[in-house]
């Protein structure tokens, strides 16, 4: 941060850089998580797991466990958790943007 500010990067650019990184990390992480969830659900559906309890049969209205995934269940968490990642990065990004170049260089480690 200190080096970037020392070579002339504006505070708004530092803030934008941190927020962009948070957005990309949040987007990649949630996309990987949702993809693994879809693969797991598909695998469980392929196993055709039998529901043994009568109460569960009444709730599921089926003898086998079937997991269905809608587009909203995929896109919603990706958007929500990407926004959460960006909100979590907002305060540190604002603090980093406010640092003076010399102070930031001295705070290594």
pLDDT at 89: 95
Domain count across the chain: 1
Residue 81 resides in a domain: yes
Residue 75 resides in a domain: yes
Higher pLDDT, 23 or 4: 23
The one-character DSSP state at 49 is: P
Residue 9 resides in a domain: yes
Domain around 84: 2-40+71-103
pLDDT at 37: 94
Residue 63 resides in a domain: no
Q: Which helix (H) or strand (E) holds 24?
A: helix 11-47
pLDDT at 13: 93
Structure-token pair, residue 34: 């949702």
R_g of the chain computed on alpha carbons: 23
Residues 62-78 have a mean pLDDT of: 89
Q: Is the pLDDT reported for residue 109 higher than 70?
A: no
Q: How far is residue 62's CA from residue 48's CA, in Å, rounded to a whole number?
A: 11
Percent of the chain, pLDDT > 90? 55
């Amino acid at each position: 941060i200190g080096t970037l500010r020392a070579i002339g990067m504006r505070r708004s650019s530092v803030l934008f850089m941190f927020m962009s990184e948070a957005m990309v990390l949040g987007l990649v992480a949630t996309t990987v998580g949702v993809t693994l969830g879809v693969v797991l659900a598909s695998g469980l559906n392929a196993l055709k797991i039998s529901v043994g309890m009568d109460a569960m049969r009444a709730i599921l209205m089926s003898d086998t466990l079937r997991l269905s995934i809608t587009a909203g269940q995929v896109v919603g968490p990706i958007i929500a958790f990407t926004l959460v990642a960006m909100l979590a990065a907002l305060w540190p990004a604002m603090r980093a943007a406010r640092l003076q170049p010399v102070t930031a260089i001295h705070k290594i480690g």
